[in-house]
Amino acid sequence: MHGGSRKEFVTAQQASFGEKPNLLEDLKYGLYLGSEAFSKECIERLEDKHYHEKPQARALLRSRSIQDLAIKILKGLGEKAPASALQVRKDHCKNRDIAIYILYQLGVYLNKEIGEVFGVGYTAIPGAVKRAQEYLRSDQEANSVAEKMFSDI
């Protein structure tokens, strides 16, 4: 190309790239190239499959609002007032503990982040997770609902 001249080839290549936007600017989460509409389509595709072990998929999950995700989980668990379940409580709530458990099991969020959504400290998360595990062991119906919620995320 260009008469075998490396200098002419590099000059032509730079001129060509100078006219086009940088493709890497459209790189989303280190996973794909495209527009925001395409990113939403990719999120939907990833939700159908479990790629939580891949760092790019984990970054994609982290990009979603943890509060919106918590409300979605609480609604899926049948909570009538999901926003009120996010408020600080002195008593234990089964659906709240299961929602905390699901977010914890995703392995994407820190205990501190989960605690902030539910208005508790990070040290309260392991206790809620343990209670949720006990609920799910003793209630097969709740366990199947929680598994469905986890797979839907």
Rounded-to-integer distance, Cα 152 and Cα 132, Å: 19
33 is in which domain, residue-wise? 2-61
Rounded-to-integer distance, Cα 18 and Cα 25, Å: 14
**CATH code of the domain containing 93:** 1.10.1750.10
In this structure, the answer to whether residues 15 and 49 fall within a common structural domain is yes
Domain end residue (candidates: 10, 45, 61): 61
Q: What is the pLDDT of residue 47?
A: 58
Residues of the chain falling short of pLDDT 70 = 1-2, 17-34, 42-60, 89-91
Q: What is the pLDDT of residue 31?
A: 58
- Cβ atoms of 151 and 106 closer than 8 Å: no
In this structure, the answer to whether residues 78 and 24 fall within a common structural domain is no
In this structure, the answer to whether residues 88 and 137 fall within a common structural domain is yes
Helix (H, G, I), strand (E, B) or coil at 36: helix
- Which residues face 33 on adjacent strands? 27
In this structure, the answer to whether residues 24 and 43 fall within a common structural domain is yes
In this structure, the answer to whether residues 75 and 49 fall within a common structural domain is no
Q: What is the pLDDT of residue 101?
A: 93
In this structure, the answer to whether residues 56 and 69 fall within a common structural domain is no
In this structure, the answer to whether residues 73 and 49 fall within a common structural domain is no
In this structure, the answer to whether residues 94 and 39 fall within a common structural domain is no
Q: What is the pLDDT of residue 34?
A: 66
In this structure, the answer to whether residues 71 and 52 fall within a common structural domain is no
In this structure, the answer to whether residues 102 and 27 fall within a common structural domain is no
Number of domains comprising the chain: 2
- Which residues face 32 on adjacent strands? 28
SS (H, E, C) 84-152: HHCCCCCCCCHHHHHHHHHHHHHCCCCHHHHHHHHCCCHHHHHHHHHHHHHHHHHCHHHHHHHHHHHHH
Domain end residue (candidates: 18, 42, 61): 61
Per-residue tokens: 108? 């994407």
Domain end residue (candidates: 45, 61, 77): 61
In this structure, the answer to whether residues 82 and 148 fall within a common structural domain is yes
Whose CA is closest to 139, among 106, 98, 103, 102? Answer: 98
In this structure, the answer to whether residues 74 and 39 fall within a common structural domain is no
Q: What is the pLDDT of residues 102-131, one digit of tens each?
A: 999 888 889 999 999 998 999 999 999 999
Q: 0.85 exceeded by the pTM?
A: no
Q: What is the pLDDT of residue 17?
A: 67
